[in-house]
Structure 1
Amino acid sequence: MQTIEDYLHQYELADLFPPAVIEAMHIEHHAAGSRLFSQGDAAEHLYLLVKGKLKISMLSPEGKRLILAFKTPFDLVGDIEYVQKCPFINTVEAVTELVLLRIPHHALDHEMSGNSLFQQFLLETITRKFVTKAQELNFNLLYAVDVRVASYLLSMTPDKSRLESPSLVDMADLIGTSYRHLNRVLQKFEQAGWIQRNNGKIDLLDRDALFNQAGHNIYE
């Protein structure tokens, strides 16, 4: 089993954090499908994503959820909240089993205040996220629903070929379409032999065809 030090060396972060911060870190494991935290929850930790895949979504004023991004290692979770000292601005859920390193805010405040390397690390990460967010919003606004559905199916099944018990209402909200339109697209994919729906599950039969439909512009 990998240790905190193993993960830090794996992602070339061992020299970024002083011993006191490393001692304050904890390893967290999350099962696929679990919710790490919801939009508006208090943020007291910074997380380093070191294994697995997660989904980030936001809730609109109308109560609709929209996918912002899927994340794989290495990435930070809660960096904007740490800098702004605000609650979590998005909902984060596990797509696959996850491993994260959890760092208390108070440890960072005490040990990393004024650390130029850490400040540069945060700046680069947050700047990259703003670029990604702009791209994802354009993706939802400009691409056809067929492309978004294919991309969603691929993003949600990185290491398997079955989407277990998907809620079509939630899926429609997340990709920004109506339930009826989503159902029509899924029927079209099924008739083409790309997917098969069976007992509330969606089996991906032809990932290459779905990649071609998405134009390789998947949410990642």
Structure 2
Amino acid sequence: MDKCNSFLDHQIDIPTKLFETFKTKPARKFKSNQVIYRQEEIAHNFYYLKEGIVQVFVNSSDGLEKILKIYKNGEVFGEASFFDGFPRMSSAKTLSDSEIITINKTDIMSYFQKEPFLALNFIELLSQKVRMLSNEIDNISFLSAEKRIAQYLISMNRYKNQPINCTHEDIGKSVGVSRITVSKTLKKFSNYEWICTRYKQIFILNKNSLLEFLDA
């Protein structure tokens, strides 16, 4: 059997009650590589990703792009600027054909009035994201390039029997290293039989070894 066809599953969901609430709204269909919102826009909505893949990124004044997060089915994005009222600090676009539900202030107030406990759910969700962001800052500061790449692969290893769809450049932009460093590291991990690579796809074969490498 091809080693690339079997690897472990990992997924972080939004609270179940929020998931059930948000998914009842009609979804809008987006084509792959379609912009959802742009950096500096005022946020009148946030979004629930019913189906597909969304990339959130920032552009510097000199045109460089930094990938902040990749979202998949069942996740919420774009909510920070929606709640603080400041212009968006990032942009978002689809990486595949997607179905996205738009949540506005009327929606969220209606949800909270009907079921106040949902507000607590949402605070929990935002707290998790703050914690994840803090961890990412620590990782950039203290982890080696190879460990940052290993952690990226683990974080993207969410769906059983499905590849991680990304390029070496995507990984480099996400973890702050060069494409050459990514290529060398992936080759090393492949030689260890921790991963298997194909064109724009990576399969995790031995997640435990990657985790042990991170803890070393």
What is the CA–CA distance in structure 1 between the aligned matches of 2:36 and 2:98, rounded to whole Å? 10
TM-score normalised to the size of structure 1? 0.63
What is the CA–CA distance in structure 2 between the aligned matches of 1:150 and 1:169, rounded to whole Å? 15
Corresponding residue for 2:16? 11
Q: Check 1:64–1:116 CA distance in 2 against 1; reply closer, same or farther (3 A cut).
A: farther
Corresponding residue for 1:81? 81
% identical equivalent positions: 17
Corresponding residue for 2:177? 177
Cα-to-partner distance string for 1:47-80 (whole Å, 9 max, x where unaligned): 2345666544333455444444455676532322
The one-letter amino acid of 1:162's match is P
SS state at 2:174 partner: helix
Corresponding residue for 2:10? none
SS state at 1:210 partner: helix
Larger displacement relative to structure 2 (144-153 or 60-69): 60-69
The one-letter amino acid of 2:200's match is K
Q: Is 1:147 matched up with 2:147?
A: yes
Give the deviation of 1:119 after TM superposition: 5.9
Q: Which has the higher contact order (CA 8 A, sep 6+)?
A: 2
RMSD of Structure 2 on Structure 1 (CA): 4.2
Larger displacement relative to structure 2 (96-105 or 141-150): 96-105
Q: Is the Cα–Cα contact under 8 Å of residues 166 and 202 in structure 2 kept in the other structure?
A: no
Q: Check 1:55–1:142 CA distance in 2 against 1; reply closer, same or farther (3 A cut).
A: farther
Q: Is the Cα–Cα contact under 8 Å of residues 18 and 122 in structure 2 kept in the other structure?
A: no
The one-letter amino acid of 1:206's match is L
TM-score normalised to the size of structure 2? 0.64
What is the CA–CA distance in structure 2 between the aligned matches of 1:73 and 1:29, rounded to whole Å? 14
The one-letter amino acid of 1:142's match is F
Corresponding residue for 1:201? 200
Corresponding residue for 2:163? 162
Equivalent residues, number: 198
Question: Structure 1: any 5+ residue segments left out of the alignment?
Answer: 1-9, 216-220
The one-letter amino acid of 1:12's match is K
